[in-house]
Amino acid sequence: GNTLAAPLARRFRDACPGAALRIHEAFSSTLVEWIQSGRLDFAVLYDARRDRNLIVTPLLLEDFFLIQRVGNGTASPSVTVADLAKFTLVLPGSENGFRRVIDAAARQAKVDLKVAMELDSISALKQLVEEGVGCAVLPFGVVHREVEEGRLKAQPIISVSMRAMLVTATPLHRPVSKATRVLM
């Protein structure tokens, strides 16, 4: 949402001037529930679990980064999964798609993570990192503005496991409207 919502809304308005658009920003697990309950017609999700009630189409593979307060941590351009054990982390809860990717990569690398707090709010995670409470592990798209503004720094995590697939999802048992197809 941080990267796609505003440009997508502008393009949709130009393509469908008479149609109404409402964009919700939430974690993937919440968006899946909303699609299943009929509250949403379409969603962009991370790490979507196989769900028999969704039509899921891959969009892009996004690498994860160690997100730190400017002035903290190592000066190296990148980190490994093993390096994450050195940091106190603030992460989303375990049911979140980001967190499932992080935990699976840590298990595979046999790394114990020091998680100080779990918050299901990207803005709160970024704020806690800026305040020096801990570091986060997030895709770059979530923090690109803060990095460009010099408020946070992002170091790539060198691991094929620290990636998440971004997908589009629509409900299997409801027709997709013409406006939704244009949006997609």
pLDDT tens per residue, range 130-170:
999 999 999 998 899 999 999 999 999 999 889 888 889 99
Amino acid identity at 31: L
pLDDT exceeds 70 at position 50: no
pLDDT exceeds 80 at position 47: no
pLDDT exceeds 90 at position 51: no
Higher pLDDT, 32 or 107: 107
Q: Give the three-state DSSP class for 160.
A: coil
Q: Give the three-state DSSP class for 126.
A: helix
The residue-averaged pLDDT of 9-13 equals 93
pLDDT at 128: 97
pLDDT tens for residues 74-128? 668 899 999 999 999 999 988 887 888 899 999 999 999 999 999 988 899 999 9
Higher pLDDT, 27 or 73: 27
pLDDT exceeds 90 at position 46: no
Helices (H), 65-96: none
Closest Cα partner for 41 from 59, 71, 13, 20? Answer: 20
pLDDT exceeds 70 at position 10: yes
Closest Cα partner for 41 from 169, 159, 182? Answer: 169
pLDDT at 141: 86
Q: With b meaning 16 or more CB within 10 Å and e meaning fewer, what string describes 95-129? A: ebbbbbbbeebbeebeeebeeeeebbebeebbebb
Question: pTM of whole model > 0.85?
Answer: no
